[in-house]
Structure 1
Amino acid sequence: MRFADYADDEARWAACLERDPAADGAFFIAVRTTGIYCRPVCPARPLRKNVVFHAAGAEARAAGFRACKRCKPERLDPAVSEARA
């Protein structure tokens, strides 16, 4: 699935609450209070009011967020994988 496959932020949030595997890689969640971004399947559960959604990990990093150490969202980003190789 892709970011556009989730009609709005509420649909994205619902996918996060369900830890929907189909959403993994389709979008990323960023948490304003912690400064991290995660995969939608991450076991961390921030408050909805602190969450913003990004279509790509690079977009979240450009907005100043760092990758979550629990779910390792950068592993889904081909640009990061290529840079490390």
Structure 2
Amino acid sequence: VLFRSGFLTQTHPNPNSTLSLSVTSTIGGALTEKPCVADYGDLGSYSVNCRLAAGEASPEETLTHLVNASPERLHLWLNYRVTF
């Protein structure tokens, strides 16, 4: 589950310019890979990283590449625009 919340404000320092500030925060949305079981025929079944199971790495080695990543939590944008 991913939830985003944010805030935006802008002002005009003079008639031909705009200064804006935007802040967003992300809650949730982590990417977590879990192992699965792959059947290698005569070699037997192994717990593997499903994403890498068909590659050349050994089943044990694929497990070292499981991803557990959090999203970027906070974005801040400051923008100054002048028109002429």
Superposition TM-score, scaled by structure 2 size: 0.20
Larger relative contact order (Cα-Cα within 8 Å, sequence gap ≥ 6)? 2
Q: So what's the TM-score if we normalise by structure 1?
A: 0.20
Who wins on radius of gyration, i.e. which is larger?
2
Larger proportion of helix: 1
Q: Indicate the structure with greater strand content.
A: 2
